[in-house]
Amino acid sequence: MAAVAALPDDVARVALELPLRANLSALDNIALIPLYQRHFNAAESARQAQLLLEQLGHPDIARLRDPDMTPAQRFVAKLARALILKRPRLVIDRPGAMLYDVPYPAFIRQLASQATMTGTWEIFDFSWNQSLYQA
């Protein structure tokens, strides 16, 4: 997966090695991005984060902290954190390592159909898993 490590800065990533802050809620993990990168105030950052969770169909995870989330909920929080960056490309690195509690190709397709994002979603995975994404 050396190609993933060499991605340019205009790519948002969802990966196992990019953890959430365990002491913060999903909402706070997501809201950190507009708060610190775009200098929005806390209320506006939280509003944007909540809206994104609603668009993804998972507003119920907003107050959960990392240790209290299922793997699928954790993935949604990481995905929202990546999407709020508003970059033209989103790379999901080895989703099976993060989504072992749900049938992940279908789960990702469901999330992608609900999310309002311009740009492309790409999945980087082992070659033997590529057939999972053909359908």
pLDDT in tens, 106-116: 899 888 887 66
pLDDT tens, position by position, 14-57: 999 999 999 999 999 999 999 988 888 999 999 999 999 999 99
Tokens 């050396």 belong to: 2
Q: What is the mean pLDDT of residues 98-110?
A: 91
> What pLDDT, on the 0 to 100 scale, is given for residue 5?
62
- 8 Å CB contact between 52 and 83: yes
Q: How many domains does the chain have?
A: 1
Q: What is the SS3 assignment for 1?
A: coil
CATH code of the domain in which 52 resides: 3.40.50.300
Strand locations in the chain, DSSP E? 11-14, 89-93, 120-124
pLDDT of 2 over the 60 cut:
no
H helix or E strand, kind and range, residue 132: none
- When the pLDDT of each residue in the chain is averaged and rounded to a whole number, the result is 89
pLDDT of 130 over the 80 cut:
no
**Domain that residue 60 falls in:** 2-133
Token pair for 99:
């989504």
Token pair for 100:
């072992």
pLDDT of 60 over the 60 cut:
yes
